[in-house]
Amino acid sequence: MSPAIKAPLLPKKEPSSSSSSSSENHGSFAGAVFNISTSIVGAGIMSIPAAFKVLGVVPSLSIIMIIAWLSNVSAGFLMKSTLAGESTTYAGVMKDSFGKPGAVAVTIVTMVVTFGSMIIFSIIIGDVLSGNEKDGIVHLGLLQEWFGFHWWNTRFFGLFFIFVFLLLPLVLCRRIERLAFSSAVSFLLALLFVVISSVLAIIAIIQGKTKTPRLFPELNDGGLSFFSLFTASPVIVTAFTFHFSVHPVGFELKDPLDVLSATRISVILCATIYSATGLFCYLLFGDSTMSDVLMNFDQTTNSSIGSLLNDIVRVSYAIHLMLVFPLLNFSLRANLDELLFPMKLSLVEDNKRFFGLTFPLLISCFLGAIAIPDIWYFFQFLGSTSTVSIAFIFPAAIVLRYVTSLD
């Protein structure tokens, strides 16, 4: 039987004065909940309905519950292991357990996940603003629907405007607690997306426009659907990968262990949101559900209210992703700095390093979003490799290392 998350895994150790000085401004518990929740509910929610289409309703809901529980447990193990030593970062606790190779491994994997997720966010924002073409079908973006086709509302210029005037000011924040308000707004926008999607699905059910959803996957086409199961499951794993945010959020609290309660609340909230989004969007769009479900909301409706709701859904979630973006950038920048400049002073106090890392990362993400057209393949890659390592393999390895050291 797995140990309860409240049970101390390692001997308790008071945080060092360097990490929790009384002169510092501590973050709030509510801010921690919003920051963790926003780290979880990112772009992954957009592909949850597609996972429902592939896996069926019952397996999808079951996997969401299982992955949510495992993510909460692994985050608890990770934070308690960190507090048993002198480190204050994910890479630091890996270094305590496995030396420099362990620290380098977790740093590189975290950078891959966060940078990949930032590119996915940017791709979705580009889809919402300027549309996309998939399987020969052109899905119009909001800018084309509202203003027609012009050079200034193409994907390149639409994303360029967002990066310069919206994302850049947010990524220049040096403390993660300052993003608590934007995280709260972002989480509320995600809830708005779920509510509107649910309302549209209920209306479609009342009008008899929905089809009976598949409760289980269909395996009747020569094994193709069977292998597709292995591409859908990693999408859900990716959607629950937030462990790179646990340390920066936790060590800005007065008691870093409070982040475990914040994590538990966040995981429960996000599992509920994922389940509702996947189920209602699958009911709404059926087998036409796309890997980025926001592109399904470009469909024309027979009423002005329906069109307005479709636009609100896309705008609200695009803004949500813009507000999640700086949280991932914060983690990516911190890990890259720790990898390149392990002996330097705090990144917050060094303007040259801070700006020297921030701008190249932002430019690289912009170029990646322009070059990569579809998020599904990115989710498959991240969910089957990097996110599994961050969320489960590395925390489990740390615990096993500690247990074997006692023998």
* 23 domain residue, yes or no: no
* 60 domain residue, yes or no: yes
* 18 domain residue, yes or no: no
Q: State the Cα–Cα distance between residues 222 and 83, nearest whole angstrom.
A: 51
- pLDDT value of residue 18: 41
- pLDDT value of residue 310: 77
- pLDDT value of residue 197: 84
DSSP state of 167: I
* 174 domain residue, yes or no: yes
Which of 18-27, 31-40, 192-201 is predicted with the least confidence, judged by mean pLDDT? Answer: 18-27
H or E element: which one contains 112?
Answer: helix 90-130
* 22 domain residue, yes or no: no
Q: Tell me the CA distances in angstroms from 109 to 150, 217, 313, one per residue in order.
A: 40, 32, 32
- Binned at pLDDT 50, 70 and 90, residue 17 comes out as very low
- Binned at pLDDT 50, 70 and 90, residue 381 comes out as low
Here the CATH number for the domain that contains residue 135 is 1.20.1740.10
Long-range contacts of the stretch 130-136 (C-beta < 8 A, 24+)? 130/154, 130/155, 130/158, 130/159, 131/155, 131/295, 131/298, 132/292, 132/295, 132/373, 134/290, 134/295, 134/374
* 399 domain residue, yes or no: yes
375 lies in which domain range?
A: 29-405
Instruction: Give exposure, 384-393, as e/b (b: 16+ Cβ within 10 Å).
Output: bebbbbbbbe
Q: Which of 215, 229, 205 is CA-nearest to residue 57? A: 215
The partner residues of 138 in beta bridges, in order of sequence, read: 133
Q: Tell me the mean pLDDT in the region 305-331.
A: 82
Counted domains in the chain: 1
Q: At residue 11, does pLDDT exceed 70? A: no
Q: What is the mean pLDDT of the chain?
A: 80
DSSP state of 132: E
- pLDDT value of residue 306: 64
Share of the chain above pLDDT 70, in %: 82
Long-range contacts of the stretch 140-148 (C-beta < 8 A, 24+)? 140/298, 141/298, 142/311, 142/314, 142/315, 145/298, 145/311
Q: At residue 331, does pLDDT exceed 60? A: yes
* 122 domain residue, yes or no: yes
* 331 domain residue, yes or no: yes
More confident: 374 or 267 = 267
Q: At residue 169, does pLDDT exceed 80? A: yes
- pLDDT value of residue 349: 78
- Binned at pLDDT 50, 70 and 90, residue 1 comes out as very low
What confidence tens digit (pLDDT) does each residue in 67-121 have?
A: 999 999 999 988 888 888 778 888 888 888 888 899 899 889 888 888 888 888 8
